[in-house]
Structure 1
Amino acid sequence: MKENIIQKKSFDFAVQIIETYKYLAFDKKEFVLSKQLLRSGTSIGANISEAIRGQSSKDFIHKLQISRKETNETLYWLKLLETTKYLQFEVAAKLIQGCEELLKILTSIIKTLESKSK
């Protein structure tokens, strides 16, 4: 079976988010923002996995749109954590880059699918 790039990238990103959450919660003792980051950052891949098993193409697109929203929210939390110095610039920049890449891929997939369905 051919590897699904967006599924793999979102899974790998979720692992990075979990590691970041552990650092924020255990080392920095930050519990509120880190929990928000954990929820949105792991939800990206979960919604992509749901989309892949979607009941219809409309359901598939809808789940990807949810995933894109979660990606955008994750980007917000990452920028906030970096600006408030909970995350070092280098760590935040790497996560932000990965998040923006997911956002671009999801947007491209959604636009392509929406144009085909018209």
Structure 2
Amino acid sequence: MNSETLKARTKAYSISIAKLIIELPHNVINKNYSNQLIRCSSSVGANYRAACRAKSTADFLNKLKIVEEELDETMFFLELLAEFNTDKKQVIQENWREANELLSIVVSSIVTIRKKGQKL
């Protein structure tokens, strides 16, 4: 997968999360968890784009680590929302699976970069 494809995929993911949040009922729990979820899920795409503009391998790696953390946080808040919105469990699980796939891609990239750095 090239960087442009991953940029598009992370942007589409942020949009998918926003659409999910629009569908959730308005209550205190959904409001607070949704606010956190919007921030971390949109941060995935923003930080990946920043990584693509990195000035060095170390900078790229650091930015990818932020993407990794934001994806993990996104998955956490999706898990919490699933507990309180059982009627939306399927769409929440679909978004969780996409986050997990993106996380696997990012972690694989981090591992590859670290291996290349050890060979230098």
TM-score, normalising length: structure 2: 0.88
Instruction: Return the alpha-carbon distance in structure 1 between the equivalents of residues 74 and 9 of structure 2.
Output: 15
Instruction: Return the alpha-carbon distance in structure 1 between the equivalents of residues 62 and 7 of structure 2.
Output: 16
Give the corresponding residue for 1:51: 51
Give the corresponding residue for 1:73: 73
Superposition misfits of 4+ residues, deviation over 4 angstroms: none
Question: Which structure's residues are more often helix, by fraction?
Answer: 2
Equivalent residue runs for 1:1-118 within 5 Å = 4-24=4-24, 27-29=25-27, 30-85=30-85, 88-118=88-118
- SS class of match (2:55): coil
TM-score, normalising length: structure 1: 0.89
Q: Which runs of 5+ in 1 are unaligned?
A: none
Structure 1 residue 86, shift from structure 2 partner: 6.2
Q: Which runs of 5+ in 2 are unaligned?
A: none
Could you say what the CA RMSD is over the residues aligned between the two structures, in angstroms? 1.6
